[in-house]
Amino acid sequence: METVPRPGRGPQSKKNKPQAKRKKPRRYWEEETAPTAAGASPGPPRKRKNLELGRHRQKNSHSSKKSWLSKKSQFPRKSQEQKQPGGEKKPGPQRSLSGFQDPFPGPAPVPEEVARKFCRIDRSKELPHSLPKTRSKLEVAERVEEEISAKAARSELLLAEEPGFLEGEDGEDTATIRQADIVEAVDIASAAKHFDLNLRQFGPYRLNYSRTGRHLAFGGRRGHVAALDWVTKKLMCEINVMEAVRDIRFLHSEALLAVAQNRWLRIYDNQGIELHCIRRCDRVTRLEFLPFHFLLATASETGFLTYLDVSVGKIVAALNARAGRLNVMAQNPYNAVIHLGHSNGTVSLWSPSVQEPLVKILCHRGGLQAVAVDSTGTYMATSGLDHQLKIFDLRGTFRPLSARTLPQGAGHLAFSQRGLLAAGMGDVVNIWVGRGKASLPPLEQPYLTHRLAGPVHSLQFCPFEDVLGVGHSGGITSMLVPGAAEPNFDGLESNPYRSRKQRQEWEVKALLEKVPAELICLNPRALAEVDVISLEQRKKERTERLGFDPEAKVPFQPKPKRKGRGSTASLVKRKKKVLDQEHRDKVRQSLEQQQQQQQQQAKPAGVRLSALDRFVR
């Protein structure tokens, strides 16, 4: 007996099941409207046809995959030429993918005076007459230099920071403005940069800022040594070496510290751990570090100037100045030349590659007390026991440009990045300002004046901050000096906000780019010029070694002619003809030179001739 299944129970047969239509997903080009009469959604038929044709070919044909790809670009270029009514084509404006026209087409124009500031090639000198290959290389180098200077001039627009300045009211002298008034007028972040450290029990103090301007190290005469991040006031290390400290310097980074103690020179890390004791540098009085050469220059009581290469730990040179105790030393940041002041009133300039001083300058009638060189290497400021403050020109003349007699001799001098000059006279600090960077500061009226709690023993401007650090017998004082520092810094060279990983990468790069000590000279640009004397000497030695001059002009050898015209007499005749022509050219040149010399020696036409002029040769 068969049972009929109840409705709703058991599976239905596929034949009796109604076929429900599947809802087709809507494409991105379709609108939410009712379907068409055919029941299919409208779409771009041309695209679909091409797609189906491509799939069919890919499946059935054995051709390569590139055969069905379109050779036309996905974004066809719009024609930049527009037709005029006459039928001629006129170039149209360039348009972007969005279809909008660029209102400023082409590269941005660069002013010549701005590009000239970044150019490192002297345009006044013409290219030498050399081989075509050498001349083409020089021309390519000039074009590359032009492009680099133009890019640097364009990127100057991105430097948003501007140097500050201090202006008084109508008729007000800025030297009468106190530090307390400046602190009240500036913002909170700038006001926090002014502080005083009361350390009378360990003074007087010598201080030094790192190259980035973020860290400060100071050492007292009674053995107190400390290093800190002076912006956040975070202490890095603080020790007492139980020995007199005469000077202190950061090395290439804030991780290493050189301290000139009473007996020997010692190297510490930023945790206060002693790493090295250099006994060959004994009784050191002053320290200077050359960052691009990794050289630590030391001046001692015995009169020796010693250069220590901190990258390998070897002494490069030990020079005897033969001038007694060396207590005054400064470096030229432009060419890394060391300036030493002596008790006889002279300043000597030294390089590790030369045993004698490069230049000796008589500056004062008495002994030197302080020497400072500006960041561009143009001016040198000196002060002596004769109470004179002088500024000298270092561009080859070495002559005094300005001088002023002070009521008390300046014991310490310092230049800022923008050319401000600070002088410490007893417990007073005077600051003079120029019209801008690399400008001569006038010495008539001081820009700022500040009185301290004790006699000044050290002065240094903080890099990239309008701050002057002063070490005195009462501790450390940080002064606010508007307009002292360069407002923009190079993040790849001296970045105050770099991390530990960035500092390590910078150290590796700096070591790879280290400049040899033999290249230190008065004029660094002379390294790129041709040394004519050495070139002639090498040419002479080569001629003596080979027995002949390989660059000499080969004598004329006539080529043999056809049969009947190449006799010996004709060859000799042609040789003689060429020799005579060369001789005529030499005689003509010598006569022209003589005429030019006579014209130069001739008297002007307005001068009356005398009877004795006939005997003048």
Residue 444 forms part of a structural domain? yes
Residue 433 above 60 pLDDT? yes
The average pLDDT across 479-502 equals 89
The number of domains in the chain is 1
pLDDT tens, residue by residue, 528-562: 776 777 878 888 888 888 887 777 776 777 777 76
Tracing tokens 């140097």 back to the chain, one arrives at 163
What whole-number distance in Å separates Cα of residue 535 and Cα of residue 551?
A: 13
Query: Could you give the CA distance from residue 487 to residue 380 in angstroms, rounded to a whole number?
Result: 23
Tell me: pLDDT of 46 over 60. no
Q: Is the pLDDT of residue 91 over 70?
A: no
Tell whether 284 is covered by a domain. yes
* Within-domain flag for 405: yes
Q: In this structure, what token pair is assigned to residue 412?
A: 């310490």
pTM of this structure: 0.70
Say if residue 269 is exposed, middle or buried (CB neighbours under 10 Å; 0-12, 13-18, 19+).
middle
528 vs 335: CA distance, rounded Å? 14
Q: In this structure, is the dihedral angle defined by the CA atoms of residues 184, 186, 189 and 195, taken in order, positive or negative?
A: negative
Compute the distance between CA of residue 495 and CA of residue 188 in angstroms, rounded to an integer: 23
Residue 607 lies in a domain: no
Mean pLDDT across the chain: 82
Q: Which of 78-82, 117-121, 432-436, 500-504 has the lowest mean pLDDT?
A: 78-82
Is residue 41 situated within a structural domain?
Answer: no
- Whether the pLDDT of residue 277 is over 70: the answer is yes
Q: What is the pLDDT of residues 338-379, one digit of tens each?
A: 999 999 999 999 999 999 999 999 999 999 999 999 999 999
For 118, the token pair is: 């970044």
Does pLDDT of 79 surpass 60? Answer: no
Residue 508 structure tokens: 């590796």
Cα 582 from Cα 589, distance rounded (Å): 11
Q: Can you give the CATH number for the domain in which 282 is found?
A: 2.130.10.10
Residues written for the chain: 617
3-state helix, strand, coil in the chain (%, to 5): 25, 25, 50
**Rounded to whole angstroms, how far apart are CA atoms 269 and 310?**
13
Assess whether pLDDT exceeds 50 at residue 380. yes
Question: Would you say residue 319 lies in a domain?
Answer: yes
Structure tokens at 262: 């009473």
Residue 377, phi-psi category: left (phi > 0), alpha (psi -120 to 50), beta (remainder): left
Residue 471's Cα: distance from chain center in Å?
A: 29
Q: How much is the pLDDT for 151?
A: 85
Lowest mean pLDDT across 176-185, 308-317, 391-400, 542-551: 542-551
The predicted model gives 254-283 an average pLDDT of 94
449: helix, strand or coil:
strand
Predicted pLDDT at 599: 81
Of the candidates 198, 235, 206, the one whose C-alpha atom is nearest the C-alpha of residue 222 is: 206
Query: pLDDT value at position 414?
Result: 96
The C-alpha atoms of residue 224 and residue 256 are separated, in whole angstroms, by 17
pLDDT for residue 56 is more than 60: no
Residues 6+ apart with CB under 8 A from 116: 149
Domain of residue 449, residue span: 174-506
Banded pLDDT at 53 (limits 50, 70, 90): very low
Q: What percent of the chain has pLDDT over 90?
A: 49
Q: What is the pLDDT of residues 200-216, one digit of tens each?
A: 999 899 999 999 999 99
What band does 24 get if pLDDT is binned at 50, 70 and 90?
A: low
CB-CB contact of 272 with 239 (8 Å): yes
Higher pLDDT, 459 or 602: 459
- Is the backbone peptide bond immediately before 7 cis, with ω within 30 degrees of 0? no
Where is pLDDT greater, at 497 or 122? 497
Lowest mean pLDDT among 83-97, 378-392, 408-422, 567-581: 83-97
Do the domain assignments include residue 88? no
Contact 507, 499 (CB under 8 A): no
User: Which pLDDT score is estimated for 292?
Assistant: 95
**What does the angle CA 492 – CA 493 – CA 499 come to, to the nearest 5 degrees?**
65
The torsion defined by the Cα of 54, 57, 59 and 65, in degrees rounded to 10, comes to -80
**How confident is residue 116, by pLDDT bands cut at 50, 70 and 90?**
confident
Burial class (CB in 10 A: 0-12, 13-18, 19+), 54: middle
- Answer yes or no: are the C-beta atoms of 291 and 297 closer than 8 Å: no
Identify the three-state secondary structure at position 493: coil
pLDDT at 359: 94
- With 70 as the cut, is the pLDDT of residue 55 above it? no
Establish if 558 belongs to a structural domain.
Answer: no
**Token couple for 254:** 């804030």
Phi, psi dihedrals of residue 412, rounded to the nearest 5°: -145, 140
Q: Is the pLDDT of residue 80 over 60?
A: no
- Which of the four pLDDT bands, split at 50, 70 and 90, describes residue 67? very low
524: left (phi over 0), alpha (psi -120 to 50) or beta: alpha
584 Rama class: left (phi>0) / alpha (psi -120 to 50) / beta = alpha
Please write the tens of the pLDDT for every residue from 160-189: 777 778 888 877 889 999 999 999 999 999
Task: Name the most confidently modeled range: 49-58, 107-116, 341-350.
Answer: 341-350
Indicate the DSSP class of residue 205.
E
Residue 20 pLDDT exceeds 60: no
| 59: number of Cβ within 10 Å | 7
Model confidence at 310, pLDDT cuts 50, 70, 90, reads very high
> Does residue 347 or residue 107 have the better pLDDT?
347
Left (φ > 0), alpha (ψ -120 to 50) or beta: where does 87 sit?
A: left
